[in-house]
Structure 1
Amino acid sequence: MTTNISVCHISTMTRWGGVERQLIDLLAAQENDQVQHSLITTSSIPEIKKAIQNTGIKLFEPKRNFRYDPTAVLQMAKWLQSNQINLVHSYNAFANIWGNLATLVAHTPTYLTYEHGTIWNTHGALRWMDSWAHRRARLVIANSHASANLLKFKYKIPGEKIRVVYNAVPDIPSIEPIQARAQLKVDPDKLVVGTVGRLDTPKDYATFLDAAAIVLRKRRSVVFVIIGGGPLENELRSYISELGLQESIHMLGWQTNVRILMQGFDLFVNTSIRESFGNVLIEAALCGIPVIASAVDGIPEAVVHEQTGLLLQPTKPVRKYQSVEALPLPKYALINGQLRPPQALDPEQLAHSILSLLASPEIRKFYGQQGKERANHLFSMYRYRNELEKIYLDLEKGH
C-alpha cells in the first residue's frame, strides 16, 4: 500500500544563510509524489520569500505584532490542522521553538528537529527552549557528526535519537573562470583567493585579512575577495584600510550569484573558529576549487586533508570584535575530537599554505578534481532529498 505524507518545514527566512539556501534548494528539487511539501516561515525578507514562491509550494507566514507574539503559535497550529499536516520538520533554534509549540497545540502526529549550527551559541532561555524541542522531537537530524556530538554533550540528547544527514548542494551551472573573473571585476592575470560567508564572529575574517597582508608582501600578483555581508562589514572594511590593502582586497557584499562568482577563484579559504559543516566548502568543491580550511567541528567531514584541500590546526587566541551586533564567541569548538575553547588559525601558517598552493597549479588541479568527485558522490541534492524523504516515510509507517 502506498504511503502519502504531507510534510511542513518551519524555518526563519531573514537572511541568505546555509539553512535557508539548502531548504529552498530542497523544495525546488521535489519529485516524489508520495511526499507533499509546504513551508511555514516565522519571518522572512522579500527576496527569500520570492525564491520560496518560485518553488511552487504552499507557504504560510503568521502575522505578528511583535517578535515573540504568542498568537503566531495559534495561527501556525490552525494552518497545520487545516492543511492536514502529518509531519513537521523545523530548522535550528528559533524555528525549533516555534515548531515545538505549534505542533503541541495542533497535535501534529510526528515532529522532527534539525541542528545546523545554532547550538554553538544558544544560552539562557533560548537554550532551554531549543533543548526541550529536541527532546520532544521523535527524531533529531544533525548536519554533521560534530553537530551530533554537541547535541549529546550540551543538550544530553541520546545518540540513538540523532540521525546524521550531510548537507547538500544542487548542480552548479558551469562557466569559464575568465567569465567569472569578469563578473568579479578582477584582472585576468591575477590569482584570486576568495572566501564566502556571513561577516560575523564565527568566520574570523580578521585572520583571513592578516594572512592576505602577509601573502601580498611576498606576492603582489594576488587578489583577495570576500563575498558576504553581516554585522562586521564596517569593522572589516576599516581594518583593510588600516592595512593599506584596499586595492588588493575586495569586499563585494551579499551577492545572489555566489556559485557563479566562486568559479573565478583559484583558491578558497575558510578561517572559521566554529563551523557545524560548511555548505560553502561543498560549493567550492563542486566548482572544482581547492580549499584551505581550519580543522574544527564539522569541517574535516567536508574537506579531506591533502586530497580535496588542506586542513590547518587552529592554535592562536581568537580575536574579539567590536560590533555589538556580532555573535558572541562560542564557549567551545570541536578540535581534534575534543570540545575545547575555540582557537584561530595562525596567519603565518595560513599565508604559507596559500603561497604554497598558489605556486603549485598541478596540486590545485588535483585537489579541485578530487573535491568535485567527492562532492558529487556524497553531497548531491539527489542523495539529500532521497535520504530525508525515506526518513519521513519510515516514520509515517512507524518504523
Structure 2
Amino acid sequence: MRILHVDTGKSWRGGQGQVMSLHRELTKAGVSSHLVCSESGELYRRAKGEGLSVEEMPLRGEWDIFSARRIAKLLKTGNFTHLHLHSSHAQGIGLVAARLAGFRNVIVTRRVDFVPKKHLFNRWKYGSGVARFVAISLAIKEILVNFGVSPEKIRLVHSGVDPDKTRPGSGESFRRELGLAPGELLAGNISHLADHKGLKYLIDAVPLVLANHPNTRFVIVGSGELEEELKMQAKSLGLGGKLVFTGFRKDVDAIMDGLDIFVMSSHMEGLGTIVMDALASKTPVVVTGAGGIPEIVEDEKQGFVVPAKDPKALAGGIIRLLESPELRAAFGEAGRKRVIEKFSARAMMEGNLRVYEELLK
C-alpha cells in the first residue's frame, strides 16, 4: 500500500493540521505515505521540518494542468495504490491527474459544511471519478448525500488530534504577555477570522459577560479577511483592553493552555478540530450547535452547546462557567477523556486506513 496525498492550502488551518496528522500517523504505522502540497506553504514547511515524505508544487487553482501532469507522472511511476485529495482545489487537480494516469483508487475528504453549487464542474468533481468520499462528520455526510453522492460511496471518519500536544503550564507566558492579574479569567477563540466562524456574535456577547463579571478578559487569536471589521466592532462597543486580537500565532498550543474557557461561535463548521484541542487540554468549552460540533461536545457533559448566531446564549454559557470552578474542572476532565476515547489522531488514521484497505479488496 502506498498513498499519495494532495493538499493545496498555503496557510495553516484545521484542514492542513489534519493532513499533517494523517501523514504522520500513517508513517508511524509503517504505511508508505507521500504528500504533495503548495510550494512555500506552511504545510510543506512543517512536513519537511519533521522529515516526512513531501514535495512542493505550484498547485494554482483547480485548472492547474501543469501540476496535474506532474501528479499523473507520480501516479504512473511511484507505485502508488491510492490518491487521497484533501481540499477542493486538490480535488479538481487530482481528478484531472487521475484521468491522465488512468488511476481509479481516488479518495476525497470533505471537511467543510458549505453546500456545493450544482453546476457542471461540481457534478464532475463529485461523480464517478471518486471511488470513496470521506466525510469528517455526519453533517457533511448529509450534505454530500443531498448533493447526489451515493451513500454507498461515503465513509464517516471523524477528524482527530494528538491529545498530548498541549503541555500543561505552557500558557503562563501568554497570560503574562496579556498582563492578566491574579484571579482574572481568560476566555477566547482561536480560528481563521472568516464569516462562518461567527466571531461577530462572540464580540457582541462580551459586553453581556462583562456586565456580570467585569474582571473577565477575552482574546481572539488568528488572522483573516474580517480582522479589521471585527476590531472596529470591538472598538464601537468600547471593549478596549478587555478584548485582545493577537493576529496569527504559531504558539496556539501554549495559548490554549492559557485559556480558562474556549468559545466556538461558528454558524457553519465541518467538525471543529480546535474544539478537540480545547477538550484535550482540559479547557471547558462553550460551543454552538453548528455543523458537526455537537458530534464532539455533548451538552452539559464536556461543555455547553448553544444556538448559533445568539450572543445572549453564548454569554449565558460563559457566565455559567465563570461562576463555577467545579463545573470548569468537571467539564475539563470529561472533555479530555472524550478526545482520548473517540477523537485521537491515531483513531482518525485507522479510519482512513480502513477506507484504503476496502479499495484494495
TM-score for both structures, normalised by structure 1: 0.84
Which residue type is aligned with residue 14 of structure 2? G
- Aligned counterparts, 1:36-75, within 5 A: 36-41=32-37, 43-63=38-58, 68-75=63-70
Give 2:15's match in structure 1, choosing from 19, 28, 40. 19
Structure 1 residue runs without a partner (length 5+): 315-343
Over 3 Å counting, the alpha-carbon distance change for 1:253 and 1:188 in structure 2 is farther
Q: Structure 2: how far apart are the matches of 1:122 and 1:53?
A: 35
- CA shift, 1:91, in A, is 1.1
Which residue type is aligned with residue 273 of structure 1? H
- Aligned counterparts, 1:1-399, within 5 A: 5-29=1-25, 30-33=27-30, 35-41=31-37, 43-63=38-58, 68-117=63-112, 119-120=114-115, 122=117, 124=119, 127-132=122-127, 135-154=128-147, 156-170=148-162, 171-176=164-169, 178-182=172-176, 184-314=178-308, 344=309, 346-396=310-360, 398=361
Which residue type is aligned with residue 213 of structure 2? R
- CA shift, 1:126, in A, is 5.7
Which residue type is aligned with residue 277 of structure 1? L
State whether residues 180 and 263 of structure 1, in contact with CA within 8 Å, keep that contact through their aligned partners in structure 2: no
Over 3 Å counting, the alpha-carbon distance change for 1:99 and 1:196 in structure 2 is same
- CA shift, 1:125, in A, is 5.8
CA deviation vs aligned residue, 1:351-377 (integer Å, no higher than 9, x gap): 122112100111111111101100011
Q: Structure 2: how far apart are the matches of 1:15 and 1:94?
A: 14
State whether residues 112 and 138 of structure 1, in contact with CA within 8 Å, keep that contact through their aligned partners in structure 2: yes
Which residue type is aligned with residue 8 of structure 1? L
CA deviation vs aligned residue, 1:43-74 (integer Å, no higher than 9, x gap): 34443321021233332333478873322211
Over 3 Å counting, the alpha-carbon distance change for 1:22 and 1:63 in structure 2 is closer
- CA shift, 1:384, in A, is 1.5
Over 3 Å counting, the alpha-carbon distance change for 1:288 and 1:71 in structure 2 is same
CA deviation vs aligned residue, 1:149-175 (integer Å, no higher than 9, x gap): 000012x11112111001000132322
State whether residues 92 and 117 of structure 1, in contact with CA within 8 Å, keep that contact through their aligned partners in structure 2: no
CA RMSD of aligned residues (A): 2.0
- CA shift, 1:99, in A, is 1.1
Structure 2 residue aligned with 1:323: none
- CA shift, 1:141, in A, is 0.6
TM-score for both structures, normalised by structure 2: 0.93
Q: Structure 1: how far apart are the matches of 2:111 and 2:60?
A: 28
Structure 2 residue runs without a partner (length 5+): none
CA deviation vs aligned residue, 1:200-223 (integer Å, no higher than 9, x gap): 010111100000021112221100
Give aligned pairs, total: 358
State whether residues 197 and 227 of structure 1, in contact with CA within 8 Å, keep that contact through their aligned partners in structure 2: yes
Over 3 Å counting, the alpha-carbon distance change for 1:219 and 1:66 in structure 2 is closer
State whether residues 61 and 89 of structure 2, in contact with CA within 8 Å, keep that contact through their aligned partners in structure 1: no
State whether residues 144 and 298 of structure 1, in contact with CA within 8 Å, keep that contact through their aligned partners in structure 2: yes
Which residue type is aligned with residue 215 of structure 2? S
